[in-house]
Amino acid sequence: MSNAPGTTEEDAEYKKICENHKHLIETLPKCNGWWTPHLHNYNGFWLTPDILKANLLLHTYFKSHPTDIFLASFMKSGTTWLKALVFSTLNRDSYTFSDHYLHKHNPHSAFSPLDAETYPITDFTNSLTPRLFSTHFARTMLPACMSSCKFVYVCRDPKDVLISLWHFMNKIRSKDVPPLSLDEAFELFCLGVSDYGPFWEQVLSYWRASLEYPDKILFLKYEDMKKEPEVVVRKLAAFVGKPVTVEEEEKGVVREIVKLCSFENLSNLEVNKEGFEKFGRLVNIEKREFFRKGVIGDWKNYLTKEMKERIDGITAQKFKGSGLVFTATG
Q: List, by residue number, the catalytic residues.
A: 136
Alpha-carbon span 74 to 196, nearest angstrom? 7
Pick from 169, 150, 134: nearest CA to 68:
150
Helix (H, G, I), strand (E, B) or coil at 34: coil
Residue 269, class by beta-carbon neighbours within 10 Å (0-12 exposed, 13-18 middle, 19+ buried)? middle
Which distant-in-sequence residues (6+ apart) come within 8 Å of 156 by Cβ?
74, 76, 77, 78, 221, 222, 223
Angle between helix 158-172 and 305-319 (nearest 10) = 110
Alpha-carbon span 299 to 163, nearest angstrom? 6
Residue 154: how many CB atoms within 10 A of its CB? 26
Residue 92, class by beta-carbon neighbours within 10 Å (0-12 exposed, 13-18 middle, 19+ buried)? buried
Alpha-carbon span 255 to 176, nearest angstrom? 46
Q: DSSP alpha helices (H): ranges in the chain?
A: 8-27, 49-61, 79-90, 101-104, 158-172, 182-190, 199-212, 222-227, 229-239, 246-251, 253-260, 263-268, 305-319
Which pairing describes strands 38-42 and 45-47: parallel, antiparallel, or unpaired?
antiparallel
**Distances, alpha carbon 29 to alpha carbons 49, 149, 196, 208, in Å:** 12, 32, 14, 27
Alpha-carbon span 123 to 26, nearest angstrom? 31
